[in-house]
Amino acid sequence: MGEGESSRIQQEGDTEAKILRNKIESYGDPRLYALSLVSRNLADSRQPLVPERLFNANSAGEGGFAANGMLGTLMSLLVAEKSGFELNGDESLGNPEASAKA
């Protein structure tokens, strides 16, 4: 019984390997097959691939943060908070009604 089962498992493995080899050969390049698998998995993902919002605290002037120092950084964060940008993902930030309920 052990030899029969091991033979069956080997045949299943060989068949699966042959099918996979045929799939890869149908793409012509193994990298294209890998790319198709990655893109299919990313398409089915629930995790967003790009952020909904982007906060750029860097100033347009020369030196960026270094030119503004700590006060410039604080001002940038305050402006972001007042404009409704969620710094820590907290839904109540920028929404006084929600923060009053919390």
What pLDDT is attached to residue 37? 94
**Domain map of the chain by residue range?**
2-43, 65-101
- Tokens 């089962």 belong to 5
> CA triplet 29, 19, 21: central angle to 5 degrees?
30
CB 94 within 8 A of CB 85: yes
Q: What is the pLDDT of residues 43-67, one digit of tens each?
A: 888 888 777 776 665 555 555 545 5
The tokens for 57 are 């605290």
Share of the chain above pLDDT 70, in %: 68
Looking at residue 50, the DSSP 8-state letter turns out to be: S
In degrees and rounded to multiples of 5, residue 55 shows phi and psi of -110, 115
pTM (two decimals): 0.45
